[in-house]
Structure 1
Amino acid sequence: MAASDISCPKCAHCFNLSDFDLPELSTSNVLETNAIPEETDLPLLCEFLATGRSRMASLSAKIKLLQSAVETLSGKKNELDLAIRKHEGSLSLSRRLPSEILAFIFQFSVAAQPYRAPWIVSAVCARWRSAALSHPRLWASLHYGQLSRGRNQDLLQYETQLFRSGQVPLDVQFIVGDWLPEDGLTEVEKSILQLFCNHASRWEAVSLRGEHWFFAHLGQCIQDPFTCLRKIKVEVSRMVSDPVITVDIFRDAPLLQEVQANRELWGAPLSMALNWTQLARYGGSNTWIGHLHTLQVASNLVDCSLEIQGDFASFEAPTAVLLPHLRRLSLSHPQFLQFLETPSLLELYCDYDANTVNSFIRKQNCTLQKLVMWECGVPGDAAILIRLIETLKSLVILCLLFEPPVEFLEHMSSRVDTLAPSLTHFSTFLRFPGAMDDDGDLVQNHLIQAIESRCPIGRLKSVRLYSIKPLLILDRLEKLKADGLSYAVFDGLRFLSLDKVDLEDIPPELTIFTME
């Protein structure tokens, strides 16, 4: 086959492309101008037109034939591409995963969408549905909230979920809108709530939010003991003039370990009637005396966060409360520390009051490793702060979420071996330097000197800085990377309020949401 030949993929007919070359053009100048053709040019022009039109018709026919062949080949190519992708899919890792592993992966989707996740994954394909139906724990999250209102099919779906969950422990959430009038539940909501309560013996974790009447109604719906319950989150909204509210429906919960009482509604004091001696973690809002009464019987607490309501000046101090196992403590009023004995305390989170914290630490026999204090509107006293940090020889993490005094930073630079010698992490909050604020430059200069003095010879490994505007010491921080320092800088207007800062240095379960 010549180089100028092409074979038809449909009939194998060989086309000679030279057959379709243009016939020779006339050499007359009539083609290049608008002159009148000569008599001698007329036969040549007519011959070209006849030959050209014949070849045009032949070319059109061949093109149509080749286009048909191309369409046929394109169709076969697409079919082959689909077949290849199907075969590749058959060899994919996800196809070869055991159903048990696949169902375990599905479980991670429940945290993001506890209500919809099991229904979504079970609708993808037959294999996913089979894996989802064979994993009862995937169906064990029963969440009902305001977004669920108005769905007539909810009751049937929850019944189906309970059936598919088998006998595994349940994660239950039922949220009623704040300020909902008494008996404001719809008939469907009452049926759903009763359905949840019928399986109270399987509750492992429960999150409830509503008015006081809602919890009274809930107590009437529950008949069985909470034999599996380990974690409670309760949010009871109330009118400002109401007294302290008590929730007493969780008395019979022998495995209960963690309680959160008005963690989101900090301003509403809430008392819980529980078997406190078995609790390991507690966070809640209550009055001074209410918290102390609780702590007197919660001797096995390991983690504790307290929002303390009421006037301290009118509070009559009781005897000190011993919490021998407490490791982490967060509280809104540092004055509360004078009523506590915590010999095992490792982490303390509180409002800035160096004098009170210093007095507390000196009376304890603990080896505090982490101290986080946030500003309460009182300028930091350098001398008291220095005495406090001097006391804490075992301190590893120090977070001062306010601008530290210059004198304190100078001591950090000059007393690496005696002032927090074990410090590995330091966080602080800085003002931004400006034309009317020369102190901002001074503080930053002393801060970077303190960091530089502790990197090569000290143990400082990480620094976290919060500032409203970009800092001037970033270049010097970058150079310290060679000495192994890890640093993070958070700037911008989002840090004007400390409720945004706390997520970085304070664990969520220990956050006091009313920090100012």
Structure 2
Amino acid sequence: MTSLCAQCARTPQIRINLSPAEISKIYNDLRSDFGPFVIPPERVEEVKQMVALADKDIEDHYSEIARLHDQIMIIEAQKEQLEAQRAKLRALVSPMRKLPNEILLRILHHVCDSVGNRLFDIDEEAGIDSPPIPYLPSMVVSSVCSRWRNLALSSPSLWANLTVVIITYDREPDELGSMVALYMERSGAWPLKLSVYLERADELCSLGLLLQHTHRWESFTYRAPYSVSFSNKLSQLPFPSLLELDTSHFSGRESSALDLFEHAPRLHTLATTEVPSPKAPFNQLKSLHFLMVMELSSPAELANILNNCPSLKTLSLELKRIDQEVRDPTAQGTWHNITSLAIMEQSAEYGSLTGSCSEMVFSSLRFPSLTELVVKGRPQRTYATDPLISFITTSSCIITTFTIYGLSVSDVDLIAALQVMPSILHLEIDDKFDFYSYQQSPISSHLMSSLRHQSTSDSLAPKLHSLCLISKYKEPFDDATFIGMVESRWFKPGSDLSAAMFSAGKACIRSIVLKFCWREVDREVYQPLRNLDAEGLRVVVVGKNRVQVV
């Protein structure tokens, strides 16, 4: 191979170029000759000269390689510059620039609402690095171009979703207060969605600014230790626009967090760690979330709260301890207003359990209007579905959405539970929370076979529209059985099969999601589902490291 010299553009002469015969002779000498006097002195001198010439040739090649490398870097830089210029030219004719302001503003709203604006002040002494400003999407959006900036500044709702995190030991920096003031100014009179996370609730400038706008608070999450001065201020302020309140991490001792918000006539969603006091707005609550409540220890207490909440639709329970006997016949009751129920099963390490949260609810309470049921578990308990089956049967409720998360439940028990939910439309099974459990996953071949549509007999969950399966297990998964189940539930729109299944009361599946946390998935195996996805079925199959194969 020859190359041209960079200076004279001529082919450089290689100083040493051994022929094949010379190279073969050298190999023979190396294999046969040995000893200090094998090579004649004149031959030794000739070899040394050849080695010196080879060194010079190698040095020239290193220089040429360095020159070519520099030239490549220059060309790559020119390519990157061209790509940047091309991107700018394409942006000039981008469809985004043709979007009306109303549609563009909806997109910007979606981005800002999904991410949220987060103001951080984290002391370096706390062992946490202070995050930079990119957590403020409204600021980023308003810095893109003049059009976006004008839209952002003219849309106060973009600035009304704010999270303030303060973990300091000495003082509050001026920058944080200035940023809070900026957001309060640009949000105008728009209702505020605020979240405040404090290491300690002292007299902070940013909190004072927020308290000046309590009349605009629409949603408020407060997680901080108890502070006498701050609590006194809250208790004296009105909250005429407050709809959602989360005090589930309020470390109060001297005062109840709910008592601080008794002047909230429109409050309808409450998340708390304490049993509401008589001052709580029971009549207007539509959604109630009990998180890690210690005092609510019997069905009678829960029944008393439900009796005081005639408008309640959504109930979530996460109880730490149940001290009394679970089956309390005096606490049984029926509530027709509850349509959504979520239960978090705590592990036995949180006190001496004589029963579980779900056992207390399922054995004592009845919700005939219930349509959505979520049950979350802990790895320390093996979950039995008998109380659940009894609850659904005696409540005579029609469950359309059922979610289990991290339960140590067998596939046989899960199938038995699904048999009493013939109207279920949406089913989600997530076992990845149970990371340290050695229980078998309910996402098994037996479950897949049971979910397969049968043309000659009744099927399990015949009206199922969407199925989501999330598994942490590494052991072999029966891909063929799963694919066959999906194919049996997909009817091409307008086909004779679709009409026949519809007349038999069997619905067509519309969405399938299968995610593995630790299992690699063969892309070719799921080619049949990619074909169904092309026909209109929503199919998502994700393997280890979030590798999506469908």
Is the TM-score greater than 0.5? yes
Query: 1:350 & 1:368 partners in 2: Cα distance?
Result: 13
**Structure 2 counterpart of 1:420, which letter?**
A
- Indicate which of 251, 261, 276 corresponds to 2:282: 276
Which structure would you say has the larger RCO, counting Cα contacts within 8 Å and 6 or more residues apart?
A: 1
Structure number with larger C-alpha Rg: 1
Q: Does 1:488 align with 2:519?
A: no
CA–CA separation in structure 2 for the residues paired with 1:244 and 1:447: 54
1:349–1:372 contact (8 Å) kept in structure 2:
yes
- Indicate the RMSD between aligned Cα atoms, in angstroms: 4.2
**TM-score (structure 1 length as normaliser):** 0.61
| Residue among 364, 368, 380 paired with 1:343 | 368
Q: SS of the counterpart of 1:304?
A: strand
When residues 165 and 222 of structure 1 are mapped into structure 2, their CA distance, relative to the original with a 3 A threshold, is farther
**Any gaps of 5 or more consecutive residues in structure 1?**
1-81, 262-268, 435-439, 496-516
Correspondence 1:334 to 2:358: yes
Hey, what does 1:11 align to over in structure 2?
none
SS at match of 1:236: coil
Distance change (3 Å), C-alpha of 1:294 and 1:486? same
Distance verdict in 2 for CA 1:222–1:144, change over 3 Å: farther
Task: Say if 2:156 and 2:186, in contact at 8 Å, map to a contact too.
Answer: yes
Q: Is the 8 A contact 2:116 2:163 kept in 1?
A: no
Q: In the alignment, does 2:452 pair up with 1:403?
A: no
Match of 2:463 among 422, 427, 435: 422
Give 3-state SS (helix, strand or coil) of 1:360's partner. Answer: helix
- Pair 396,160 (structure 1): closer, same or farther in 2 beyond 3 Å: closer
C-alpha deviation, 1:360, in angstroms = 0.9
> Per-residue CA shift, 1:248-294, capped at 9, x if unaligned?
21122111122233xxxxxxx43344212212223231234465443
Task: Name the SS of the counterpart of 1:301 in structure 2.
Answer: coil
The DSSP-based 3-state class of the residue aligned with 1:249 is helix
Q: Distance in 2 between matches of 1:481 and 1:322?
A: 47
TM superposition score normalised by structure 2: 0.58
1:312-327 to 2 correspondence within 5 Å?
Answer: 314-315=325-326, 317=328, 318-327=330-339
Partner of 2:131: none
Aligned residue for 2:368, secondary structure, equals coil
Q: Does the 8 Å CA contact 2:235/2:259 hold for their aligned counterparts?
A: no
Tell me which of 185, 188, 191 is aligned to 1:169. Answer: 191
Matches within 5 A, 1:63-212: 94=97, 107-108=109-110, 110-111=112-113, 112=115, 114=117, 116-117=136-137, 132-146=152-166, 150-177=172-199, 180=200, 185=202, 187=203, 189=204, 191-211=205-225
Where 1:394 maps in the other structure, the secondary structure is coil
The residue type equivalent to 2:464 in the other structure is L
Q: Distance in 2 between matches of 1:141 and 1:408?
A: 43
1:245–1:271 CA contact under 8 A, matched in 2: no
Q: Whole-Å Cα distance in 1 between the matches of residues 214 and 370 of structure 2? A: 35
Retained in 2: the 8 A contact 1:142–1:173? yes
CA contact (8 A) 1:210 1:235 kept: no
Displacement, 1:125? 7.0
Q: Report the 3-state secondary structure (helix = DSSP H, G, I; strand = E; otherwise coil) of the residue aligned with 1:359.
A: helix
Q: Does 1:253 align with 2:264?
A: yes
Q: Distance in 1 between matches of 2:315 and 2:325?
A: 24
Partner residue in 1 for 2:421: 392
SS of 1:259's partner is strand
Deviations 1:183-207 (A, max 9, x none): x62x5x1x33233223222211112
Bigger shift: 392-401 or 484-493?
484-493
Tell me, what secondary structure is at the counterpart of 2:189?
A: coil
Structure 2: tracts of 5 or more residues without a match:
1-84, 120-135, 345-356, 377-382, 431-440, 492-496, 498-505
Letter paired with 2:242: L
Tell whether the 8 Å contact from 1:198 to 1:223 is kept in structure 2 after alignment: no
Gap change, CA 1:409 and 1:196, over 3 Å in 2: closer
Contact conserved, 1:244 with 1:270, CA < 8 A, in 2?
Answer: no
> How many residues end up aligned between the 2 structures?
384
Q: Is the 8 A contact 2:224 2:249 kept in 1?
A: yes
Question: 1:233 corresponds to which residue?
Answer: 246
Give the letter aligned to residue 346 of structure 1.
T
- In structure 2, the partner of 1:512 is none
The code of the aligned residue for 1:175 comes to Y
Contact 1:175 1:208 in 2 (8 A): yes
CA distance in structure 2 between the partners assigned to 1:428 and 1:455 by the alignment = 17
Deviates more, 1:334-343 or 1:226-235: 334-343
- Contact 2:239–2:264 (Cα < 8 Å) also in 1: yes
